[in-house]
Amino acid sequence: MKNKTAAKITNVQELEARLKQMRAAQEIYAGYSQEQVDQIFRAAAMAACKARIPLARMAVEETGMGVVEDKVIKNHYASEYIYNQYRDTPTCGVIEEDKAGGMRKVAEPIGLIAAVIPTTNPTSTAIFKALLCLKTRNGIMISPHPRAKNCTIEAARIVYNAAVEAGAPENIIGWIDEPSLELTNTVMKECDCILATGGPSMVRAAYSSGKPALGVGAGNTPAIIDSTADIRLAVNSVIHSKTFDNGMICASEQSVIVLSDVYDEVKAEFAARGCYFLKGKEVKKVGGAVIINGSVNAKIVGQSAYKIAQIAGVDVPEKTKILIGEVESTDISEPFAHEKLSPVLAMYRAKDFEDALQKAEALVMEGGPGHTASLFVNTAEKEKMDAHAERMRACRIVINMPSSQGAIGDLYNFRLAPSLTLGCGSWGGNSISHNVGVMDLLNVKTVAERRENMLWMRLPEKIYFKRGCMPVALDELGTVMHKKKCFIVTDSFLYQNGYVRPIEEKLDEMGIRHTCFYDVAPDPTLQCAQEGTRQMTDFGPDVIIALGGGSAMDAAKIMWVMYENPDVNFEDMAMDFMDIRKRIYTFPEMGKKAYFVAIPTSSGTGSEVTPFAIITDKETGTKWPLADYELMPDMAVVDADNMMNQPKSLTSASGIDVMTHAIESYVSIMASDMTEGISLQATKLVFDYLPSAYINGANDPQAREHMALASTLAGEAFANAFLGVNHSMAHKLGAYHHIPHGVANALLLTYVMRYNANPAPAKMGTFPQYAYPHTLERYCDIARYNGLVGKDDQKTFDLLIKKLEELKKTIGIPASIREWGVSEEDFLATLDEMTENAFNDQCTGANPRYPLMSEIRELYLMAYYGRDTKEAAAL
């Protein structure tokens, strides 16, 4: 095969020149297809695999460490297992696609990788890293250790030649011929990412180079042999692992911690298999020879047990597999407690499993934080395995396997990825805690297309409407649902004026037992709801009927929540959300105990079809606005017969509230085809029937009925499309200055509309369906639906504003907040607080303009003084 090697690199200039060539090569390689890359990856793996024996021999000869036959396995593993693991892994271009979700992941190479190679596993690590880089279209500059430079370079050369032969650009792999710290540091500074395998100093240097680094740390694996373990399997696994390449794998067992009751058996098995237990002074001699000033003696690294014994001046049989020192201390003052990089093992006696865990914990943290911990146990002992996994600060926990071969993956467990670079997490000062693989060497771009947010339409299971529908609806409770006990919630006015009687009569007729709670006051309190819940709990209903305006329905919803789920926390339930379907709090499931029927007696809130309720804690003054589809009534009964005798003020205030619901839900950023038609029809019904309902009351039952439906329709729309800043401001204006909710809405309505209609708002609302500011056009839809057509949009909009002003006047809404009777002094004193609270209101999020607080403040002032609404258009 043609040798592709270029000029040697022995100094910084030569290195810089080569890095430049390599960058150019990598840029070309970055354009290769997956198919081309896979061919190169295969050819390179094949070549490395073929050269496994000469490379192993070279490594042992050059470094004077390890065992040829074991290094053959490492080279074989680094080529075959890595190829097998990643042969079908997509690493070029689109690697993942979700067409429906509009998301693609695109893999790009990182660029030039600096690879620092250790002396302990030189050829296998070089093969491993070079193959990973070829598969990911990266260039790789290899920095060998001076003690292993020839074999490392030879391994790199073999992979490189095969890659180029298979079509890779020349210079895609490079290496330093005469390693020095200066060159290593230069490579680390100039590359795009560092793959650092080696000792802590080198890994620290990599992390402090300023370039992203995948550095990995030292290990000090303790193996616990539990009383329930298969002793023969355990001991022979440890021997197999500890003797592998003379103990140079970083995950190799450094100590065994044996439970007292099997200690002798374990010891006998070790001895029978050719391990030597150091006696008396021999322990100290070997300890002193292996560890010098807390570091491992370079002369014993990767040597055989016999040779180490000789160095220590201890006589052992030549074929001794492992030297074992029985010691007690896990402190670093004990040489055997260290990583020994050789077939020398510490053995501890543990009095119980807890003692074993403590010893293992100490050993991991002293010498190999984050690396590997091993346990031999009967796998039926789930508790012990769980305790071990929980307590060890190790990123690989291996059970019943030789830890050297186990931790590198794919040999004794096939879900642990094969790798020769093992991350130790933050415990080991590393950026990664897994076995390094191809995904670590890619930049993955996520291509995300704009998608619309999912929406749904939520309504009560049944909405009965038309005059006289109430008895029919109630009939279903008995004849179809076979309900037994009914709890009625209403206010004292309705109760005393006989509104409850028809319901009770119908229930009696069907044999449904019933009771009535009629203490609900306007702005219902938590205390009232708690009392109702107490009575409800005593009574144990399977159906709840809420009869009344917003207050009674809200109070009944709250009682329902507390009756079904006595342990709920209002603070959690009232937590504001950006998207009701992504909220942190999961609302408790409702309906397990009782079916909820809402019967409105005024046409305004729409609460019979909305998932909202508001309750005030009398003691703290806190208002808890609750919103969740679990609060949606099961059945709504909209029977205008219940609404005929509403007082005028209520007709006016609740009627204009309906209009505000309809308009705000129509321009909301969450409005959709499902809600828009409903909103429009509601505006029309209000324009057409509110004046007569206000003026004629019960004398125009048709107007009453249309207003009842308008209220429910608007409720359906805003239950799904939500409201806007008009409501946010009205909530606070009403609360601070005791203005009925509907009136507060009306006082602000035309200002907010002018404000929202601005085609170039300071900020628009955030929602994928909301493409650009278009609120003026939306208002014009409403105008045209109501027969108002100007010569352009602005004129059409003006006509709508004018018609609204006329409607307000007709139904007796004052011209300004001041006119309503709020003193200037009081208003200004509360203005800033009101502004901030209105901004923070749950309704603000759906407004088509994302309001600035200064804008809200200005709107309040305009509405207070009754200034020309056109001023709001300039905001």
Partner 1 sequence: MANRQIIEETSNKTVYKEGDRIVKEFKPSHPKSNVFNEAYIHACVEEAGVSVPHIISVAPSADGGWALAMEYVEGTTLQQMMDDAPDKKEEYIEKLVDIQTEVCTHKVPKLRNTRYKMEDVISGMTEIDATARYELLQRIHGMKRHTRLCHGDFVPSNVVIRGDGSYCILDWAHATSGNAGADAAITYMRFSLQDPELAELYLKTYCRKADMALQYVQSWLPIVAAAQLTKHVPGEKDLLEQWVSVAEYQ
**Amino acid letter at 226?**
D
User: Looking at 12, 181, 389, 698, which residue binds partner 1 (CB under 8 A)?
Assistant: 181
CB-based contact 686:662 (threshold 8 Å): yes
* Residue 298 is a binding residue for partner 1 (CB under 8 A): yes
Among 602, 617, 605, CA closest to 528: 617
Nearer to partner 1, 200 or 540 (CB): 200
The distance of closest approach from Cβ of residue 206 to partner 1 in the complex, given in angstroms and rounded to an integer, is 9
Nearer to partner 1, 198 or 549 (CB): 198
CB-based contact 273:235 (threshold 8 Å): yes
Q: How far apart are CA 244 and CA 249, in angstroms?
A: 8
User: Looking at 210, 280, 294, 498, which residue binds partner 1 (CB under 8 A)?
Assistant: 294
Stretch in the footprint of partner 1 (CB under 8 A) among 217-225, 344-352, 594-602, 605-613: 217-225
Residues 134-153 that bind partner 1 (CB under 8 A): 145-147
Nearer to partner 1, 218 or 813 (CB): 218
What's the angle, vertex CA 171, arms to CA 170 and CA 177, rounded to 5? Answer: 135
Stretch in the footprint of partner 1 (CB under 8 A) among 332-340, 343-351, 458-466, 730-738: 332-340
User: Looking at 10, 21, 150, 180, which residue binds partner 1 (CB under 8 A)?
Assistant: 180
Nearer to partner 1, 180 or 537 (CB): 180
CB-based contact 690:811 (threshold 8 Å): yes
* Residue 120 is a binding residue for partner 1 (CB under 8 A): yes
Q: How far apart are CA 388 and CA 391, in angstroms?
A: 5
Taking residues 340 to 359 in sequence order and writing x for each that binds partner 1 by CB under 8 A, - otherwise, the string is -x------------------
Nearer to partner 1, 201 or 620 (CB): 201
* Residue 332 is a binding residue for partner 1 (CB under 8 A): yes
* Residue 405 is a binding residue for partner 1 (CB under 8 A): no
Nearer to partner 1, 368 or 724 (CB): 368
Q: What is the token pair recorded at 610?
A: 């909305």
What is the DSSP annotation of 499-538? SSHHHHHHHHHHT-EEEEE--PPSS-BHHHHHHHHHHHHH
* Residue 198 is a binding residue for partner 1 (CB under 8 A): yes
- Residues binding partner 1: number (CB under 8 A): 41
Nearer to partner 1, 428 or 549 (CB): 428
Among 689, 676, 770, 685, CA closest to 716: 676
CB-based contact 203:64 (threshold 8 Å): no
* Residue 118 is a binding residue for partner 1 (CB under 8 A): yes
Candidate list 193, 250, 395, 424, residue with the active-site label: 250
Backbone dihedral angles phi then psi of residue 447, each to the nearest 5 degrees? -100, 115
**DSSP classification of residue 78:** I
User: Torsion-angle region of residue 198: left (phi > 0), alpha (psi -120 to 50) or beta?
Assistant: left
The distance of closest approach from Cβ of residue 208 to partner 1 in the complex, given in angstroms and rounded to an integer, is 8
Q: What is the token pair recorded at 448?
A: 């995300």
Q: What is the token pair recorded at 589?
A: 């499931």
User: Looking at 15, 238, 250, 638, which residue binds partner 1 (CB under 8 A)?
Assistant: 250
* Residue 292 is a binding residue for partner 1 (CB under 8 A): yes
User: Looking at 75, 161, 171, 297, which residue binds partner 1 (CB under 8 A)?
Assistant: 297
Handedness of CA 866, 869, 871, 874 (dihedral sign): positive
Q: What is the token pair recorded at 449?
A: 């297309």
250 has catalytic annotation: yes
Write the CA distances from 496 to 181, 240, 378, 493, integer angstroms.
Answer: 95, 91, 75, 5
* Residue 210 is a binding residue for partner 1 (CB under 8 A): no
CA-based R_g, the chain, Å: 40
The distance of closest approach from Cβ of residue 341 to partner 1 in the complex, given in angstroms and rounded to an integer, is 7
Stretch in the footprint of partner 1 (CB under 8 A) among 180-188, 816-824, 836-844, 864-872: 180-188
Nearer to partner 1, 252 or 610 (CB): 252
User: Looking at 139, 325, 367, 548, which residue binds partner 1 (CB under 8 A)?
Assistant: 367
User: Looking at 60, 168, 195, 202, which residue binds partner 1 (CB under 8 A)?
Assistant: 202
Size of the chain, expressed as the number of residues it contains: 875
What is the DSSP annotation of 197-237? -S-HHHHHHHHTTSS-EEE-----EEEEE-TTS-HHHHHHH
Task: List residues near partner 1 by CB under 8 A.
Answer: 118-120, 145-147, 179-181, 184-185, 197-205, 218-220, 248, 250, 292-299, 301, 332-333, 338-339, 341, 367-368
- Give the residue numbers annotated as catalytic, written as ranges: 250
